[in-house]
Structure 1
């Protein structure tokens, strides 16, 4: 038996040697042949599997479209701004959280009725908001762990006007906002650095002919911004701005189909073009790539590896994996909804969905655990 095994190994080695020698007759060439072990062959790649729905959680009937779902404060906890009507009192708004199995709301803290435009940081630790006072507006950051309020900027209505465009960087370090000079109407961008506890202002240059700014997304390095603009002709565009000293200069502009934009990293960003084309732009080489077609709405996971999206004239939510310039799997994970909001959980394993329920035009099978109109629900993946 040992002799046979030795003979097989010698024959295999001789065969490989013959193949390599025959390759030399066609010119010099270097090749690397990798023979994976049995253990490597059976190692499962968790990132390569398609999306499979494990559970669909319907949020309580008390949660309606009048409430505002702010996002995830933990992998299994959603936080929102809910309206509460008290006897002999006017309607108040409370920050409340709801955790798995998403049946009961728990109060976090009351919200001043003069505070609006709340934005939850992606890490779920802070909420920013604008509070109106007699003298003007103040920008406040609220810590959800201890309830402390920190004023990071104040605006005198006679000199400056705070524009309601608050946005966190995806790593929750930077908070950006827009404000204008009351006299010159010059627009500026403010950035609050939570790590350094510093606020800096930058003038916007070259934006005079681009239209009105409707949203801002700041990169994780705090040096680049994506602006969505609307012209007088109602055409929309995305504008890339770069900090240059005390100013923000225009570096790139392209027509879009709306306000949906997202950073993939500090060098690449994604936006929805006209006719539903989802583009990826790499500013290092000015390369523009098409990721998907006919997209109506999209949302990337916090690690930027996965995407949830809906398609025009279809009533399904799809989930896929971003790999290079491609979206893999593209699995339908829910039918019968026109989503207006989709938010991935911090562990990238659940999707909060809000939108209007519609009857499926694609499948004859009945829907399972379909929420009522405008009632949020959560899809948990396996």
Structure 2
């Protein structure tokens, strides 16, 4: 009996081993594990893509075609002026909040001119009010309507205030004062929101025949980018980097450019469009110039400088990308059908306000026809 029992056990063990081996050979279960791993990677890639369009809101027609959009006053509200067609004719300010259907006049704010600039943080507007004797610059709080005068420039000697702009952190306001009597006496004024004082600087490097076009201050108020048409370069458009030095702005870098948009990434690095339509970044610490995108028509960085919205030549498409060092990643198309002339990121870095012309309709054949404007908000997730 003992031998028969041992023999029976051995047969059972051998049979089980054979069955297990045949099962491993005939049924490739391991393949499903590999496929599952592959799917997990794909899903991870999808979820890691930072830009997906969650919602698109079209602004009312009057905001697109009859108002002057100024930008965002908060994460879910935009500001526009109505009726201020010139700097001598005043209009009203309206706020359009989520779900962006009906604007309301901002209470406590008086009539404003067309030369009204909204701060990047949406808390203030800077208004320029000219008269026959002087030009006044003042700050108006959008929260309580309180006003503060920044400066009062006499216009008796044919001086003109131009190109008022904010630094990206809303800490400084820059404005040019052009003197038509004394050539080369153009000055840059920088107003400090913290100290509530304005400082005047002479521009060293502007010569007779040069035409100033814009001002863009760094967040520290010590560096400035000036766009101008250089007389000695056949009126080509150039971008110059100026640094505060005593009571002067000393130019330290200059390059011909092809577009209007420039942006500071930080106090040392800035981005601009070259004549070849490439998007360049320049680092003033080491003089390094890098290409970060090609064939760019226009661009706008988010307030935190981590995202970019841009358009390219020959396409009615707006893209967004993620900034990583000197690289733009993902480059996702988020809207087709208009050529934006203005792009505004909201303070939360999650929505982009676009304003531009609709793509021409094939039925629009009359030379007198012109495409209408469209304004829309793209909410990203």
Contact 2:188–2:200 at 8 Å: present in 1 too?
yes
- Match of 1:79? 79
2:337 equivalent to 1:336: yes
- Match of 2:131? 133
Contact 1:71–1:79 at 8 Å: present in 2 too?
yes
Moved more, 55-64 or 311-320: 55-64
Which structure would you say has the larger Rg? 2
> 1:379, 1:234 → 2: CA distance?
38
> 1:210, 1:329 → 2: CA distance?
44
CA gap of 1:188–1:84, structure 2 versus 1, over 3 A, is closer
Q: How does 1:206-355 map to 2 (within 5 A)?
A: 206-208=205-207, 211-232=210-231, 233-355=234-356
1:239-264 superposed Cα distances (whole Å, 9 cap, x missing partner):
00000000000000000002210000
> 1:152, 1:61 → 2: CA distance?
35
Q: How does 1:145-156 map to 2 (within 5 A)?
A: 145-156=143-154
1:200-227 superposed Cα distances (whole Å, 9 cap, x missing partner):
1000011216821100000110100001
- Match of 1:67? 67
2:91 partner SS:
strand
> 1:321, 1:219 → 2: CA distance?
22
Contact 1:130–1:140 at 8 Å: present in 2 too?
yes
CA gap of 1:207–1:47, structure 2 versus 1, over 3 A, is farther
Gaps of 5+ in 1: 1-40, 86-90, 362-371
Gaps of 5+ in 2: 1-40, 363-370
CA gap of 1:214–1:350, structure 2 versus 1, over 3 A, is same
Give aligned pairs, total: 324
Query: TM-score, normalization: structure 2?
Result: 0.80
- Match of 2:165? 167
1:167-205 superposed Cα distances (whole Å, 9 cap, x missing partner):
101110100000033531410000111111111100001
Tell me the CA shift for residue 111 of structure 1: 4.6
Greater percentage in helix: 2
- Match of 2:377? 378
> 1:355, 1:64 → 2: CA distance?
8
2:276 partner SS:
helix
Contact 1:157–1:182 at 8 Å: present in 2 too?
no
> 1:296, 1:168 → 2: CA distance?
23
Q: How does 1:47-66 map to 2 (within 5 A)?
A: 49-66=49-66
CA gap of 1:92–1:128, structure 2 versus 1, over 3 A, is closer
